[in-house]
Amino acid sequence: MSQSKKVKLPPVADAVSEASGYSSSRREALKTLGRVTAAVAASTTLPRFSIAGAQASSRYAKYKGSTVVISLPAHPHFDAATKVFSQFTRETGIKVETDRIDTSRMKDKQLLELGKAKGDYDVVTFIATWKGEYVKKKLIEEMQPYLSNAALADPDYALADVVPAYLQNIGLVGGKKGYLPGPGAKLYGLPSGAETSIMAYRKDILADLKLKPPASYAELEAMLPIIQDKGKIGALTSRGKSGHEAMHGFLLHLNPMGGEVLDDNWKPAFQEAPGVKALEFMQKVVDTGPKGIPSFGFGEMSNAFLQGEAAIYIDSISIFGPVADESKSRIKGKVGYALHPKAERYSSQTGGFGLAIPANSANKEAAFLFIQWLTSKAQDLTIARLGGNAMRTSTISSPALRALFPQYATLKEQIKYANPDWRPIIPEWDTLDVQIIGVAVNDGLTGKAAAAALQSAVAPTTELMQRAGYYK
């Protein structure tokens, strides 16, 4: 890597002491999170040059003719993002090759490649929950040296413009809890395909039934049987397949209901009253929703809404593009958007995907240039216009984008409640998510009482956390 001036991230944990959770005021916490991200961004202030065009040309010249290989998922955001890859090649002379596979198989293949002395990938698209494991195993590069390298860094990149909760949730490792701002926090990835949750609903069906979009879980729960009975359609679609999918659906309701997966001492908390309430709510969703929810993954869940089999959707903003795509949707023009309903509090998902540079890549600098370009202001707006997920505040606030997708007005409000501590982002998460709690949640959707289903996951969770050294 070219010689660079390194800028050390400041110790930001003191400023964020209570901001990552919901200990006092949610709005105050969000303000603090914003200040913390601004501090992180300030620590990576990029050098400015008087001749921007010449600098950009110089930045890419050394790497013209090289090729970067990116591992990415089959996902609506990347349906949009891949459409601009050829533009990157035209502008820079750097070619892009893709290895696009199903998300469920992507991590296994990445671990295989990243574990080699020299792997095939120069860029990996990772799910936020993988970041701790990848860093612990020293598989991906820290981003700071690249962002501080005057020969590579775009002076107009504007890291502070990235949605704070996305940057923290996807990019930071170290700090508070090991994955939030604080002493030792370092940036290892940049969001691309980041997401929060939002509610989409059939305007025509709710209007026919004289129902308003539910603002609270109480209102939502009350209308589920009404929609099923009088609307002759499934009410709320949901993920439910055993493992990650069921766990994701559970988390969508656990957080607003005031629950958490693990407490501050890493002890199981998902089985407490808010968790039981969340799973009992999911049981009602199964009873009143489209048929097959206990076997639904993301694709089946979203497709039920897109094909007119469900009246309400509460999940990722990645639904934006498909709803407007007539090749995927039967409900174009019939959908409205509203905030993820409130229970004990407003809280919405943070997660989705980020981009990182493998430690064993032979083209690290070209890989950084590609990541930087793809997540720049200009490309973020372009990808959002194509139906991808916006990751920048400026994009979400864009009048031009809002004219095309009015739902961005709702997203601008929703993003205030995006919770970067939506679930513990620790190396053990995949086991908890896929093999333990996600299985218990599915048990609750297929006949087992909610309290008993969740309680069955307490002992194996405790044992896993004990083995991993979380209890002193």
Residue 58's pLDDT is what? 86
- Is residue 186 within 8 A of residue 174, CB to CB? The reply is yes
Helix (H, G, I), strand (E, B) or coil at 374: helix
Residue 54's pLDDT is what? 55
Q: Which amino acid is at 54?
A: A
Q: Which of 397, 281, 293, 292 is nearest to 341 (CA)?
A: 281
pLDDT in tens, 7-20: 333 333 332 333 33
Q: Which amino acid is at 398?
A: S
Helix (H, G, I), strand (E, B) or coil at 194: strand
Q: Facing residues of 172 across strands?
A: 187
Residue 472's pLDDT is what? 84
Residue 159's pLDDT is what? 96
Residue length of the chain: 472
In this prediction, the residues of the chain whose per-residue pLDDT falls under 50 are 1-52
CA angle 376, 377, 381 (to 5 degrees): 115
Which residue stretches of 137-272 are H helix?
144-147, 164-166, 203-208, 217-230, 244-254
The reply to whether domains 26-195+350-417 and 197-348+428-467 share a CATH topology is yes
Helix (H, G, I), strand (E, B) or coil at 261: coil
- Is residue 388 within 8 A of residue 193, CB to CB? The reply is yes
Instruction: Report the CATH superfamily, name and number, of domain 197-348+428-467.
Output: Periplasmic binding protein-like II (3.40.190.10)
Q: Which of 285, 193, 191, 247 is nearest to 422 (CA)?
A: 247
- Is residue 38 within 8 A of residue 160, CB to CB? The reply is yes
The Cα–Cα gap between 202 and 319 comes to 13
Residue 39's pLDDT is what? 43
The Cα–Cα gap between 45 and 121 comes to 28
| pTM of this structure | 0.84
Residue 44's pLDDT is what? 38
- Is residue 324 within 8 A of residue 401, CB to CB? The reply is no
Instruction: State phi, psi for 190 to the nearest 5 degrees.
Output: -120, 140
Token pair 């994955």 is found at: 179
**The two three-digit tokens of residue 270, written as one number:** 């998902």
Q: What is the DSSP string of 427-464?
A: TTHHIIIIIIHHHHHHHHHTTS-HHHHHHTTHHHHHHH
Sign, CA torsion 351/357/360/363: positive
Residue percentage of the chain with pLDDT more than 90 = 85
What CATH number labels 26-195+350-417? Answer: 3.40.190.10
Listed by start position, the domains of the chain span 26-195+350-417, 197-348+428-467
The Cα–Cα gap between 442 and 246 comes to 6
The Cα–Cα gap between 472 and 7 comes to 35
